[in-house]
Every structure is written in structure tokens, then in C-alpha cells.
Amino acid sequence: MARERRDGGRAVRRAAHLESVPSWQAGGVWRCLSGAAAIVGLAACAAPVRPTGLAAVPTTRPPAVTATVTASTTTVRPSTTEAVPTTTEPPTPPEGGVIAARLVSARLGLVATASAGSLTARLWVTTDMTHWSDVTPPGLVGVLDDVSAVDRQHLWVTVSACALGSTNETLWRTVDGGLTWLSSGVEGHMCAAGSTSLLSFRDPLHGAIASLEPTGPVGHVLTTADGGRTWQGWPFPVLGPVVFPTPADGFVAATSAPEGSPAPLEATHDGGRSWAAVGVAVPADYVSWHVLYGLPTFYDPSHGILPVTLIKANTALVVWYATADSGHTWSMRADPHPVGVAEGAPQIDHVALTAVAGRDTWWTLGWNTGGWDTQVTTDGGRHWTTVRSAPPWTTPQRLDAVGPAEAWVITQYATVYRTDNAGATFTLLQPPSVAGVGR
């Protein structure tokens, strides 16, 4: 049985048994997943977790300022432009530190914030990357796991009840840009360290929730075909973000694997009932290299791009694969391309971040001697524009790109940086503080 409640002029329909959800635990630890996973805050974490998909970095921390560098165009190798050395500390996360973020398009971004001592999180939307609208669901209280959107009207939020020792999860959804919200209970995750739920919607109706429990490790995937009103669940083969380009075809990229073993990509072609490992043909010269699969990005239900990172000694390369049949088969689209230099022995966290912004537009972000290399191609890997910089972060966790110039970098320190010029400059995004913000 459900009933309708109005709060602050917004209608909220909630299931009667979900009237109470937990408070945000003050001083929660920031944790991130790699690749396409969102940055999330977890009350149960005891310490930050190093995600996959990261380049090794020095212990000194760059300053919180906008970095300006010179771009160069290369066809094979990254630029050798010298970076400006810095040793100052990174920015302290502002009150209202970021706990989840998603760049949807060049005109739409979502950021969720929470501050120490706060009992709730806030959800902010921007359409110009400067001004922010508070679209927080009235009554949202708990550990916000993730956010998702496909346009300005259709938004989703998952909130965990772990702060009260419950495994309940609440899904909030809106079809009018946050004027009204509906909430319902979905199958949640355990409350052990690192557990979370990751959202992925491809259109207003079709989406998925990956529920991750790394201490198991166990998990499950939920899929919906009605915008989140009803869900169907299946066991999950590995822990990582998920994408479903069609109701039947889905992929999950593992966020970790033992050294010397490939980080697997698993696929389902029956809606999640069964899963099998995906394998691609690595070029003959690289069969002895460590293989890390990214999460494929689909720009229509049939066509997608898969980044595969190869690591050996101090070198990291990315090979790009394409599919025209919803991921049933993959063929190499572009030759291996250098993306960075790993420090020390090859490990799973010595990898560049990747992002696919379209059929021929791909991004990489990787550590190289003296700074970070931001690389962009707009012709499917034939030519790359490379920017060497000393940007205002030390540990990037996620790269979201939506075109040849626009991208967000989400960091371990609960901050988001934006570039609108393919990495020539990065600017700190600053949604309003949680503290003191009224309805």
C-alpha cells in the first residue's frame, strides 16, 4: 500500500514500508570505482580504496588552480611537452564535497554533495556548468550511492539504508526534472566496506542497477523496462559497472583482478540470466602483456566501442575494438596507442582512464613522466591530440567525456574538474555548499 505526501510543494509518493530511511553518516569516507563507475560515498568504508583504471602517481600533490597548457597533435606517441612541477597540497573537499557525479551531455551534468554532520545529501543539476539547480528529492535521507540521467527531465538516484544497519535500498525517480519524485524499494546490497549500487540508464525506460559486495565477493544486477517502476534481478558474475545496450545484451567490467590475471569483461545475451567471459584477439606482439578490459560504450543499440588496456613493465597502451552486433563479436578498430608510463611493476591500478564520446571520438587520461597526458582522437584513432599538464589533482578516479572538447574528471578528493577545450585547461566545478542551503 502506498500513500502520497507533499513536502516543500513537491508531491512524493512512497511505499508505506519505506517511510523511514537512514541518516547520512557524518564523516563518511570517499570511495570511487574506475572506468565508467560513478564516484560514491560509503559510510561503511574504513579507508579509501584504490580503484582500478588509475595511473601511478607521485606522492606530492598539485595545487587547486586552473592549469593551462599547450596542445600538440601526434599520430602515434604522446606529446613530450614538459609539465610545470608542483608540490602543494590538493584542495580540501569543500563543505558539500562530491559523493556522486555524472556528465550526461555538454549541456547537462549531475552532482550529489554531502558534508560532515549532514543528515542528507543534495542533488544538483547544471545546464551551463556554472549555475546549479537543487533538485533533491524531498525526504531523501541516507547514503546516496549513485545518480543517473538521460536528459534534463529523467533522473534517478539510489540511496542505501546502511547507516541504520539495513540492507534496504531506495530508488528515487523523476520524469519532470525534479519537480516531483517517486520512490520505491529495490533489492539492496550488504553493508560491508566497499558495497554500493551503480546506476546505468540508456533511455527513459531501460536501465540497470549493479549491486556490488566486494567482501563476498557477491552481487546482483537489476534491470527495468519501465523507467524504474519494476525490476528483475539476476546474480552477478564479477564486481563492476554494467551497461545494457539492449534489453537482452549487457556487459560488466571487473573493477579488480589478481596481478597476472586479466580483469574480465563478462557479457549476457539473455537479459542477465547467464553470463560468459568476453575475449578479444590481442595483437600478436602483445600476447604476453597484462590485459585490462574497460566497459564498452554504445552509441546505438548495435554499435559500440570497447577500450582494452595492455600493460608491461612501465608502459600502458590502449587498443580499441568495435562491434556492430550489440557486442556478440568485436574487431580491432585501432592499433595499440601509448597512454602513459606506469611507475613500478605492472599492477591493475597503473592504468590510464578512458572514455568514449562517440563513434570516432575517444579520450584517454594517463600519468606520464612529469605530468598527465590528456589525449583525444576524433577520427577513430588515426590521429591524436595530446596535452601534457600538471593539473590540480593527484588521483583521478573517473573520466566522463561527451564530445571532442567537453569532459569531467572526478577525483579521489571529492572534487570534479571540467575541461571544455580537450584538456588545455581544467576548472574546479563548485556546486553550492550543502550547509545552509534551504529549499
pLDDT by residue (tens digit) across 155-178?
Answer: 999 998 887 777 888 999 999 999
CATH of the domain at 223: 2.130.10.10
Q: Are strands 331-341 and 315-323 parallel, antiparallel or unpaired?
A: antiparallel
pLDDT of residue 192: 77
Q: Which residue has the cell 519494476?
A: 230
Q: What is the pLDDT of residue 211?
A: 87
In Å, how far from its chain's centre is CA 291? Answer: 20
261 is a domain residue: yes
Question: Is 160 part of a structural domain of the chain?
Answer: yes
C-alpha 184/C-alpha 190 separation (Å) is 18
Q: Is residue 437 part of a domain?
A: no
Q: Residue 412 carries which DSSP code? A: T
The domain in which residue 287 lies consists of 2-428
Kindly state whether residue 21 falls inside one of the protein's structural domains: yes
The Cβ-side half-sphere exposure at 422, using a 13 Å CA radius, reads 18
pLDDT at res. 367: 81
* Residue 434 domain flag: no
pLDDT at 352: 79
Classify residue 397: in a domain, yes or no.
Answer: yes
Q: Within a domain: residue 226?
A: yes
- Low-confidence stretches of the chain (pLDDT < 50) are 1-95, 344-350, 434-439
**How far apart (Å, rounded) are the C-alpha atoms in residues 327 and 120?**
40
**Nearest-angstrom CA–CA distance, 140 and 137:** 6
Q: Please tell me the pTM assigned to this model.
A: 0.76
What HEC string does 328-396 produce? CCCEEEEEEEEEEECCCCCCCCCCCEEEECCCCCEEEEEEECCEEEEEEECCCCCCEEEEEECCCCCCE
Distance CA 168, CA 164 (A): 10
Question: pLDDT value at position 8?
Answer: 39
* Residue 435 belongs to some domain of the structure: no
Our count of domains for the chain comes to 1
At 340, the amino acid letter reads: G
Ranges assigned E (strand) in 8-96:
10-15, 29-32, 39-42, 67-68, 71-74
